[in-house]
Amino acid sequence: MMMSASFDPSLLTTLFIIVVPLSLLLHLLQVKRNSRGQPPCPPRLPLIGNLHQLGPLPHRSLHALSQQHGPLMLLRLGQVPTLVVSSPDAALEVLRNQDRACAGRPALEPARILLYGCKDLAFAPYGDYWKQLRKICSAHLLSPKRVQSYRLVREEEVAYMMGKISSQASASYANAIDLSQVLYSFTNDVICRVVSGKFTREEGRNRLFSELIGENSVLMSKIYVGDYLPWLGWLDTLFGSVARCNKNKSRWDKLLDEVIKDHAVRSAQHGGEENDGEDKDFVDVLLSLQKDPAMDFVLTTEDIKALLVDTLGGGRRICPGQNFAVAALELALANLVSRFDWELPGGLTREELHMNEAPGITTRRQGRLHLVAKPWGA
């Protein structure tokens, strides 16, 4: 049970160039060993361990290994021992019965850079700080009452999405609609409004959010050499991975600093009172908590920005935004199904529609989904 990640072939090539003489020598002497009481471990190479066995789709590679070595495997990714869990019963044991012992998260290089030293909910070390963040999300940002308060946002964004589909469908019934992009834009615009407040599409804040989120996903899905072989961490700088992370972090800083400043100015114009209306967004809530003397800890601006960038997890670290996501997606899907009859373009059959997976931090279909939308009764 691991997040899907992409592996840069150039990094692997460099690693082999560095370690191949020693690897070839020791590999001839290597036999499969299993320490008493430990899960089985596939044969590994010196220094890089099992890294070479992760292909473009690591979850597929791990599944193939589990078919040979069982539902519990102990891999060594460079210098990092990694337990791979790949059966429902074992996953239940990890996420429910042993979730406290498994609640930690590694401080990966992209997370340290993009998430302000891992101050977000997803990568913060399990402890008092993380518990405070979890409380803020569950009780203030994503409580049932708060999720319900965003009903108008969901309805307006669904209406905008349906309008775009209707205009494309009315132009020509033969025109295929890029449904992947439509749904991504809908989700992004809802998040943008809930996080930072209402915007005009002309100003382009939603497009900037989309660009930054997309780049974060790419950067977080890559494997960084220094996370697994610390003595080779300089390769991440050499290949430009660290610079790319810092560049996107700077863009996030500029955007979020402007949003927070705008909210602070608006609050000052209202006598220091935060927005108390139904359109109160995440920044309003967090700035209000920052000023609350009853807070158990000091909420810094960096803490706020880290919280605004993400939420995700499993077990006791399960994403507190599930109800928020379900409410938005249910409304969107209900409208898509009730208002249109969807067909595959160009005579394509269901059997011919491929569902190949693309690499990334989340599993998604490779390529865009294009469908023809026909209004019911047309």
Query: Average model confidence (pLDDT) for the chain?
Result: 85
pLDDT at 146: 93
pLDDT at 2: 45
Nearest 5°: the CA angle 46, 51, 56 is 155
Q: Domain segments of the chain: what residues?
A: 9-102, 128-375
Summarize the confidence of residues 306-333 as an average pLDDT. Answer: 83
Contact (Cβ atoms closer than 8 angstroms) between residue 356 and residue 172 = no
**pLDDT (tens digit per residue) in 41-61:** 999 999 899 999 998 898 899
Which has more confidence, 277 or 61?
A: 61
The class of domain 128-375 in CATH terms is: mainly alpha
C-alpha 161/C-alpha 183 separation (Å) is 8
pTM: 0.83
Residue 349 pLDDT level (bands cut at 50, 70, 90): confident
Contact (Cβ atoms closer than 8 angstroms) between residue 195 and residue 281 = yes
3-state class (DSSP) for residue 341? strand
CA distances from 357 to 89, 227, 237 (A): 25, 25, 29
Residue 8 pLDDT level (bands cut at 50, 70, 90): low
Contact (Cβ atoms closer than 8 angstroms) between residue 67 and residue 86 = no
Most trustworthy range by pLDDT among 200-204, 303-307, 308-312: 303-307
- Model confidence at 313: pLDDT above 70: no
Show contacts of 209-212: CB within 8 Å, 24+ apart.
209/255, 210/184, 210/185, 212/248, 212/251, 212/252, 212/255
Instruction: Report which residue type is found at 331.
Output: L
C-alpha 3/C-alpha 123 separation (Å) is 13
Residue 271 pLDDT level (bands cut at 50, 70, 90): low
C-alpha 210/C-alpha 192 separation (Å) is 9
C-alpha 87/C-alpha 36 separation (Å) is 22
Contact (Cβ atoms closer than 8 angstroms) between residue 6 and residue 366 = no
C-alpha 261/C-alpha 203 separation (Å) is 17
Q: Which of 52-66, 247-261, 287-301, 351-365 has the lowest mean pLDDT?
A: 351-365
DSSP 209: H
Q: How far is CA 48 from the centre of its chain?
A: 26
C-alpha 122/C-alpha 244 separation (Å) is 21
Q: Residue 375 pairs with which residues in a beta bridge?
A: 340
Query: Percentage helix, strand, coil, to 5, in the chain?
Result: 55, 10, 35
Closest CA to 240 of 8, 6, 3: 8
Summarize the confidence of residues 244-262 as an average pLDDT. Answer: 96
- Model confidence at 315: pLDDT above 70: no
Which has more confidence, 46 or 201?
A: 46
Residue 113 pLDDT level (bands cut at 50, 70, 90): very high
Give the residue ranges of DSSP H helices in 75-204: 88-92, 109-114, 128-136, 144-149, 151-171, 179-196
- Model confidence at 1: pLDDT above 60: no
Residues 6 or more apart whose CB falls under 8 angstroms from that of 116 comprise: 302, 303, 305, 306
**pLDDT (tens digit per residue) in 144-179:** 999 999 999 999 999 999 999 998 887 766 678 999
- Model confidence at 258: pLDDT above 90: yes
Contact (Cβ atoms closer than 8 angstroms) between residue 351 and residue 342 = no
Q: Which of 170-184, 206-220, 341-355 has the lowest mean pLDDT?
A: 170-184
